[in-house]
Amino acid sequence: MHRSIFKILALGTATVFPLTGLLWATPSNASRYRHEFNAREFHQCANELLTTGVVEEQTQVACAMALEPTDLSGCVVKIDGFTIIEEDEALFSCFRVRRPLELAECVVDINEELLEPKSATALASSTLNHCRRSLLPLRFSACVRGLSRENYPTAFEPSEALATCIDAEDFPREIYTPNTNSTDGRGV
C-alpha cells in the first residue's frame, strides 16, 4: 500500500509540474491591465485631451475613470488629428470601447482611404459609430476598405460597406442553416 501511494504521488507530480510550468510561462493580455498605475499616465491623458480641445471637466472625469488613460487620450488625439470628427464625439466613443487604440485606427484608416476630406461629416460620424459598435475594429476596417475599393467592379459605396460589414460580424444564418434532424442519423 505504501508503494501504491508513492507511485500515485510520483505520477501526479510528474504530470502536474510540467503543466504548471507551461501555464506560468504563457503570456497573457490580461496582465497588461494588472500593472501599477502611475501619475504620469493620468497627467499625459489630461494634457493630450486638453490639447485637442476637450473641456477641462470632461478631461478630468474621463482620465480618472479610464482603465488605460493613455490609450483613451491616444484614441481621441488620433481621431481628432486625422479626421473631421469633433473631439467631444471622439472622446465619447473612445471612452465606451474596450480597445480605444483599435477604434482610432479603424476610424482613421476608413477615413483616409474612402472619405473625401471636409465633405463627408455625416459619413465620418457613421464610421466612428460603426467602428465603436464592432467587436473587432481592425477586421471591420479591413472589410469596409476591401469592399469599397474603387478599382473593383463590385465596389460598394462606403455607407453600404459599413452596413454590410457590421452585419457580417453575426453568424450568417442565410448561408448556413443547420440540419435540425441530424440526431436520427438520416439527415433531411
**Structure confidence at residue 32 (pLDDT):** 53
Write down the pTM of the prediction. Answer: 0.70
Q: What is the pLDDT of residues 55-79, one digit of tens each?
A: 999 999 999 999 999 999 999 999 9
Q: Which residues contact 78 (CB under 8 A, 6 or more apart)?
A: 101, 104, 105, 108
Q: What is the pLDDT of residues 71-107, one digit of tens each?
A: 999 999 999 999 999 999 999 999 999 999 999 999 9
3-state secondary structure 43-108: HHHHHHHHHHCCCHHHHHHHHHHCCCHHHHHHHHHHHHHHCCCCHHHHHHHHHCCCCHHHHHHHHH
Q: What one-character DSSP code corresponds to residue 178?
A: -
Contact between residue 166 and residue 130 where contact means Cβ atoms under 8 Å apart: yes
Q: What is the pLDDT of residues 118-154, one digit of tens each?
A: 557 788 999 999 999 999 999 999 999 999 877 666 7
Q: Could you give the CA distance from residue 186 to residue 66 in angstroms, rounded to a whole number?
A: 55
In the chain, domain spans = 38-167
Residue 3 has pLDDT above 70, yes or no: no
- Mean per-residue pLDDT over the chain, rounded: 81
Q: What one-character DSSP code corresponds to residue 32?
A: G
